[in-house]
A and B are shown apart, each in its own frame.
Chain A
């Protein structure tokens, strides 16, 4: 089987976010594979292992040169090949533009199934994978928690309000991973050693058949702001039985939730 994983490099979730000049400042921030994309990689690796010889995983990302690090990590985890779409014209790309670039890169790639993360933890828009599916004309199912396939149809489970939904989808299809799908592995030392000799193909827009004008962002960000810091909570000291009335009073009179 030919398996594709879409990946985005994001800030470490523990990174301290600083805004300067109307943008999130990347200085000194550790970059990682978007955690939801790690679920996608793990699912791809599990599928490849189940399929045995002849299966191959290609990881694809759009980003700056530094995104090579994320691809190398994916290769160290066990993916086989990678493609980085990198072009100055993609600086400040919106979800539509990123999806166009990724879909264009996939034109030359054979795929039976594509995995991606449900959202990227930075912008949290959850659009790129679905837009790529649309551009490629394949079905997509988002936020999957369980996955099986017989090679022509995928059976996936997703959580819905009050229960689970089981969906059968013909392949090729785009499936986006929700937390809980699996437990991503760490690359081992042997994987890290092998990663350096695995293919990492860098393509600019022209190489995927696009011009800068084709991917001009469709929306403009007016401003970016940090959430207002949370105020420290109140701790009621004393035995539970003694403090309960005060807690009820505060919830009723101050927080006005009961």
Chain B
């Protein structure tokens, strides 16, 4: 057992923190206000090697693994939650899944631009009528011999309209349910028949674009099928077990940001002639945040450690995601109270924390779904993968 950082991990943390302070922090307020996705931040992340986790150097990987990745993502998400998505969207989503299931050609063509930040990545399962029940998706790919023709639409896709390379899960066997899904790599800039519609009004995550994708007779070459036909469901579950770490880590970071902000505020703000932190009720709020924040982070690190060591991690990942999301929402909620009326003003980040925290409970598996996974594995209904 070791609760300390290695020398590299310490440097990664220091570097990611400085990166976030220098390259992200100066734009948070203005980009939130304008709902703006600052594309160049992704390029800079790529340049610094912040997108290449657990990936071989020959494809542009940075030679580091899960522990370092969550350490870096945490520092970035603490400054601006929207930017936590880029590591899932580029690395853990498409790049890592292509590395696991792709052909040599697919790896060589699609992974390097995703890791260098030259391309924006995405992954798409959700449809208007298919969310938690992934196997019920309706978007269809018809086999035309030399290529597939895709018809249907995807909803709530992170980076959908900014993406250059993305994975799209579709039905290839009508009525097949989870056994009839396949995964395709979409080269968005070179595929006709895809309309990408930004979802401009959403509760939070204002600097991370979300989109609806409409496919109308979109031709996708055969060589862009990822893995075997009709084996998309297990690929999707494998991918989600990785990308969920982005949610878990991002949520733990948000709770830490809300805690740090609240501590600073409680030490500064005086009422009744003393800092509000001296009141026991405020102390109880700080203690509650600290306890949940710390527990969340430990769960995140444990799940990352299991992945790093190639051990079963699905239950631990679900626990990390479930608990961190709870901690994030609670911390954002408490922060709003600690800051009083100032928390309700736009000048402080409490509103953003609360808005951004709420996403975590829904995407990449709702809290109910993760509760079901944790219990299902515990009760022996499914193995821990």
Contacts and interface: CB of A to CB of B under 8 A. Distances in A.
Contacts of A73: 11, 14
A193 B8 contact: yes
A186 B49 contact: no
Contact of A193 (B10, B19, B62): B62
Contacts, number: 45
Interface footprint category on A: 10 to 19
Among B19, B22, B47, B62: residue with most chain A CB under 10 A? B62
Interface in A56-101: 69, 72-73, 76
Interface footprint category on B: 10 to 19
A69 to B, nearest CB: 7
A195 interface: yes
Interface in A186-215: 186-190, 192-193, 195-196
Contact of A188 (B22, B47, B68): B47
A73 B19 CA distance: 14
Nearest to A72: B7
Question: Interface of chain A, helix or strand or loop or mixed?
Answer: helix
A189 B19 contact: no
Nearest to B19: A186
B229 interface: no
Nearest to A192: B11
A33 to B, nearest CB: 10
A234 B47 CA distance: 47
Nearest to A190: B49
Given A69-B7, A69-B10, A186-B22, A193 B48 contact: no
A93 to B, nearest CB: 25
Contact of A196 (B8, B47, B68): B8
Contacts of B354: none
Contact of B62 (A69, A186, A189, A196): A189
B385 to A, nearest CB: 28
A196 B64 contact: no
Contacts of A189: 12, 15, 48-50, 52, 62-64, 68
A186 B8 contact: no
B15 A187 contact: yes
A104 B47 CA distance: 39
B18 interface: yes
Contacts of B64: 189, 192-193
A188 B48 contact: yes
A195 B7 CA distance: 10
A187 B11 contact: yes
A186 B63 contact: no
Interface in B1-50: 7-8, 10-12, 14-15, 18-19, 22, 47-50
B238 to A, nearest CB: 25
Contacts of A186: 15, 18-19, 22, 48
B63 A190 contact: yes
A190 B68 CA distance: 12
Contacts of B22: 186
A186 B44 CA distance: 11
25 contacts: A69-B7, A69-B10, A72-B7, A73-B14, A76-B11, A186-B15, A186-B18, A186-B22, A187-B11, A188-B49, A189-B12, A189-B15, A189-B48, A189-B49, A189-B52, A189-B63, A189-B68, A190-B49, A190-B63, A192-B12, A193-B8, A193-B63, A193-B64, A195-B8, A196-B8
Per CB-CB distance, the 5 closest pairs between chain A and chain B, nearest first, are A189-B49, A189-B62, A188-B48, A193-B63, A192-B11
Interface of A: 69, 72-73, 76, 186-190, 192-193, 195-196
